[in-house]
Amino acid sequence: MNPTLYRILLGTSLFSLNTCWAEGFIDDSRVRLEARNFYYNGDFRDGAGVSKREEWAQGFLMNYESGFTRGSVGFGLDALAFAGFQLDSSPDRSASGLLPRRASGEAVGQYAKAGGGLKFKVSNTTVRYGMALPKVPVLQYNNSRLLPQTFQGWQVSSTDVQHLNVNLAQFDQTITPDSTNRQDINLAVKDGRYPATGIGDHFRYGGGSYTFDRHWVGSYYYGELTDVYRQQFLGLAYTTRVGRGGLLTDLRAFASNEVGAAKAGEVDNRAYAAALSYTFDTGHSLMAAYQVMQGTTGFPYINNPYLPNYVQYHDFGSAGERSWQVRYGYDFAPMGLPGLTFFTAYIKGDGLKKPGADQEWERDLDVAYAFQAGLKGLSVRWRNATYRSDEGRDMDENRLIVSYLFNAL
């Protein structure tokens, strides 16, 4: 081949390849950066053990998502990186969930974790492998502390069928918010509801949601922690305009039982919940929810259960428990203060199948302000919870979170 012609063809091919990458992989990339300052104070009002959990830390979070290369099969990369730094702690008040601890009980001065992922896309179906932040009814990652919980494994999502959103996944390991080490996935041991032996080789889920019309959305999911428990979820949501506001009706049902070797023992739970909320055009909002547990055991989950009465501190998911919630919120935008929001909630549960324990309640307050100009991206949030119980330790909890968020791309 003529050398000149060869150079022209090679240059054209490289130009086409670079254009392909630029138009998809690079041009559609997104980088989300957050600086999160977190103060936590948990004051136990009675009972034996430590009297307080109190720590203060600074975190930095980066989430990069590339676009997909052009072609019938698109290729992409994702990356997550997090770092945390101790600002204040002490061995006698550590274990707040903000920072990892040494064997002595002392919190580390700094820690970091990172991971990446590969992804492929065909039509409207995407396959991912690597570090992930799953958020479906049977598995919700924990983002309630300085750094989020992550999972490692496969995910498949598809919207190829009109109105249908399908999600499948298998995760083999997790990194909890206050750790840097990958570990096997464990059933939550909230209130000693299940033993710490509930560890599975992997967690699988499958399901999706279907939008029937602009008002109705139905969901079904199946989740299983190998040799521990399986769970099925059925949900139905209805939204509509009523008067001078919006009405949301949210119905949820779970059925859970042990599976395989039953490493956590018997799992026998059926959970039903209904929530009704109304948001006024004037900024006010009201919500009422009712949640009931049936079966011989409490509600099983990995972290952050998808229950309407799972609030700041408690989940109201003990065996036999019936709980109700009332909530009031206000968005100050109609008063000329956009970015300022407030809500308060009261949750009460009774009927617990625990010796000497029949009732418990929690009261939450949440005030947040997101700056609108000049310091746009900066937000301040104060969360306060008061929890009282016949059987467990009473708790007063405060969280103060200052966050600066911006998109680099």
Give DSSP secondary structure letters for 130-149.
Answer: EEE--EETTEE---SSSS--
DSSP state of 108: P
Identify which of 398, 235, 378, 377 has the alpha carbon closest to the alpha carbon of residue 313: 398
Q: How many CB atoms lie within 10 A of CB 4?
A: 8
- Tell me the two tokens of residue 344: 């308060």
Query: Encoding tokens for residue 340?
Result: 């300022």
CATH superfamily of 24-407: Porin (2.40.160.10)
Contact by Cβ (8 Å): 114, 82: yes
DSSP for 150-218, written as a single string: EEEEEEEEE--STTEEEEEEEEEEEE-TT--S-B-EE---GGGSS-TT-EES-EEEEEEEEE-SSSEEE
**What is the Cα Rg of the chain in Å?**
24
Burial class (CB in 10 A: 0-12, 13-18, 19+), 36: buried
Strands (E), 242-356: 245-258, 268-280, 284-294, 322-331, 340-354
- Residue pair 76/66 in contact by the 8 Å Cβ criterion: yes
Check residue 156 and give its pLDDT.
98
| H or E segment to which residue 5 belongs | helix 3-20
CA–CA dist 249, 357 (Å, integer): 32
Per DSSP, 86 falls in state E
Collapsed DSSP state (helix, strand, coil) of residue 344:
strand
Q: What is the mean pLDDT of each run of 10 residues along the chain (409 residues)?
A: 44 46 79 97 83 96 94 94 97 94 94 96 97 97 97 98 98 96 95 92 98 97 98 98 97 98 97 98 98 97 96 96 98 96 97 84 98 92 95 91 86
Euclidean distance between CA atoms 323 and 306, whole angstroms: 15
Contact 202, 154 (CB under 8 A): no
Residue 6: the pLDDT is 40
Retrieve residue 251's tokens: 């119905």
- Residue 363 has a pLDDT of 98
pTM of the model: 0.92
137: its two tokens: 């009814």
Q: Which is nearest to 138 in space by CA: 249, 80, 258, 219?
A: 219
Q: Which residues pair with 405 in a beta bridge?
A: 34
Residue 71 confidence (pLDDT): 87
Cα angle 185-188-191, degrees, rounded to a multiple of 5: 160
Among 270, 256, 190, 193, smallest CA distance to 228 is for 256
Reading the block at residue 30, the tokens are 């997104």
Q: Are 96 and 53 in contact (CB under 8 A)?
A: yes
**Positive or negative: CA dihedral 300, 273, 174, 69:** positive
Length of the chain in terms of residues written: 409
Nearest to 274 by CA among 321, 325, 316, 240: 325
